[in-house]
Structure 1
Amino acid sequence: MPETNLPLFVYGSLRSDCGPAHQDFLSAATALGPASLTGALYDVGRYPAAVIGDAMYLIHGELYDLRGDTDLLACLDAYEECSAEFPEPREYRREIVEVTQNQRIRPAWAYLYNRPTQGLPRIESGDYRQYLTC
């Protein structure tokens, strides 16, 4: 599967019931349902930060089929401030991760936090929607 055809895993402000960003960017995408990612979720203030690698925790979110829309990916990169126009080190990076959906593991794009998490409160549930009123 070409990288441009990968679905997108969202866990914060881009989730369907977490505010206007979903409507702005993902209203035309096809919802594929709930999914999870192995890692930890942190509270950065106005939004969450996902960090992979900690197998003790799960990050809960939603999966979307972007239909290979590279223009949409570019817009999302700008929204997440991880495109080339933003200075490094960027706060987020888009990376291919392995998500679990319906007990199957599949590759997907995700925006991951690109800074240290020391001092940030961990979102114990791994679910931003449950943690805050979005």
Structure 2
Amino acid sequence: MDAYTTHLFTYGTLMRGFDNPFAERLQNNSVYEGKGYFPGLLYLISWYPGAIYDADSVSKVHGEIYRLSTFEAVIPELDDYEDVFEDEQSSLYVRKTVSIIKESGETINCWVYLYNQPVTGLPLIEEGCFKHLH
């Protein structure tokens, strides 16, 4: 893992406009820096989405970029929220560093919670944007 990454990319219930204590905690401990995307696929898991990173995908996963005020202030809580466990195989999500393309065309390395379970039979969110469903 990249210990120097100070940004988080969100594509689901942590984005602005979602009413939950974890999204609120993120908002209070970071600075919103704009929108971005990465190549991959976005699935509807339940009431929340799950993204799979695929560097070769023509599909994109769209979301928001946040600069974390302090990593320690928010990431442990978000890891709990995203069911990230020490045993990666049993984790619902894994937190990885992904190169995000900003609206300006620049890239930035961000932490991203990627879905870590089988996606067989799950509906694909074809436009890659979870907010469009709400």
Aligned counterpart in structure 1 of residue 60 of structure 2, from 46, 58, 61: 58
Residue in 1 that maps onto 2:90: 89
Residue in 1 that maps onto 2:127: 125
Alignment partners' CA distance in 2, 1:15 and 1:113: 16
Residue in 1 that maps onto 2:11: 11
- RMSD, aligned CA: 1.8
Residue in 1 that maps onto 2:72: 70
Alignment partners' CA distance in 1, 2:99 and 2:65: 12
SS in 2 for 1:129: helix
**Deviation at residue 66 of structure 1 after TM alignment:** 0.6
Alignment partners' CA distance in 2, 1:52 and 1:91: 15
**Deviation at residue 87 of structure 1 after TM alignment:** 8.2
Alignment partners' CA distance in 2, 1:18 and 1:81: 19
**Deviation at residue 83 of structure 1 after TM alignment:** 3.5
**Deviation at residue 23 of structure 1 after TM alignment:** 1.2
CA distances 1:104-129 after superposition (whole Å, capped 9, x unpaired): 11111000000111100100110000
Gaps of 5+ in 2: none
Alignment partners' CA distance in 1, 2:72 and 2:5: 9
- 1:79 equivalenced with 2:89 (yes/no): no
- 1:37 equivalenced with 2:38 (yes/no): yes
**Deviation at residue 18 of structure 1 after TM alignment:** 2.2
Residue in 2 that maps onto 1:46: 47
- Alignment TM-score, normalising by the size of structure 2: 0.88
The 1:77/1:119 distance shift into structure 2, 3 A limit, reads same
Which ranges of 4 or more aligned residues in structure 1 deviate by more than 3 Å? none
Gaps of 5+ in 1: none
Q: Give the counterpart letter for 2:52 in structure 1.
A: V
The 1:30/1:114 distance shift into structure 2, 3 A limit, reads same
Identity %: 29
